[in-house]
Amino acid sequence: MKNDFLQRLLALHYVYPKPLNKLHLLMQDDLQLERWHELSAQQLSYKLSISSASANRLKTAYAESLQIPFKDVYFKHKITPIPYIHPLYPESLLELIDPPAVLYAKGNMGLLENQNRIAIIGSRKASIYSRNAMELIIPPLVKNDFIVVSGLAKGADAMAHQIAIEFGGSTIAVTGSGFLHPYPKENKELHNIIEENHLVVTEYPPYMLPKRWNFPMRNRIISGLSRGIVVTEAQLKSGTLSTIEHALEHGKDIFAVPGNILSPLSEGPHKLIAEGAKPIWSGWQVLEEYSEISVEK
């Protein structure tokens, strides 16, 4: 990857932090991003389906952004930008309709080279039942070198990361904000631990705040990184099930933990089981789906 193209890509993504399908609108006739800023505001407006005023602002912001030494700045803050053409960029993300144009990462980049990744997700209001279930599901996975992926939200996500760490495994957190704004505050210590010893990734530049609409977008990355998705507890209408929708679109394996039929948090997993998800109560059941892997018991 040429440094000048990387600088242009990072400068553009800094001021226009959109997925790759949006950036491709500019790259169709300008693959190296050398000339797009020469378009008139009207031409740019038409290409990106934005107002002329927004197009003018984008051109101005990009010109200013080009002066920022991104590689040095990100290196100083221990952030590694991983553009879509980087060797470490997970190929599975390119199967998405809207792949991240750039992943910003902190931690052990080597975890991206291990394709045996399982997402474990659930409700922000997860009960002790989720923790108990994960303590049966996660140990066999980490014993067999599977990485636990989750979203670092309150509740089930935080439990999944913590239990993976407690049992000596590795974990990847996918966040919905930039590194200058870790979210939620309750998980700041866990965020720091994962940054130092595991891996945190986000598609948002460091200054991005945790806006509500960032999290459905974050969910597609959790799904895209993972071979399969385990759901512990979730209500019928939840972000957890939006992650499952992404997973189903791309043929991922879906596993669901059966629960108390009187609990609203069991409604999501039970619906998934009724629709064909595999009911599980042990990590060995997950590993059975990947028989090409030598499983250590």
Q: Give the pLDDT score at 292.
A: 65
What is the residue whose two structure tokens read 């053409």?
Answer: 85
Q: Give the pLDDT score at 3.
A: 80
Per-residue pLDDT of the chain (297 residues; tens, 9 = 90+): 578 999 999 999 999 999 999 999 999 989 999 999 999 999 999 999 999 999 999 999 999 999 999 999 999 999 999 999 999 999 999 999 999 999 999 999 999 999 999 999 999 999 999 999 999 999 999 999 999 999 999 999 999 999 999 999 999 999 999 999 999 999 999 999 999 999 999 999 999 999 988 888 999 999 999 999 999 999 988 778 778 888 888 889 999 999 999 999 999 999 999 999 999 999 999 999 997 665 666
What is the residue whose two structure tokens read 């109560």?
Answer: 281
Q: Give the pLDDT score at 247.
A: 83
Lookup: tokens for 156? 């089930």
Which value, to the nearest 10 degrees, does the dihedral of the CA atoms of residues 216, 221, 224, 226 take? Answer: -110
Per-residue burial over 136-170, b if 16 or more Cβ lie within 10 Å, else e, is ebbbbbbbbebbbbbbbbbbbbbbbbbbbbebebb
> pTM for the complete prediction?
0.94
Orientation angle between helical segments 188-197 and 156-166, nearest 10 degrees? 40
Rounded to an integer, what distance in angstroms lies between the CA atom of residue 120 and that of residue 44?
41
Q: Give the pLDDT score at 297.
A: 60
Rounded to an integer, what distance in angstroms lies between the CA atom of residue 59 and that of residue 44?
9
Q: Give the pLDDT score at 118.
A: 97
Q: Give the pLDDT score at 243.
A: 82
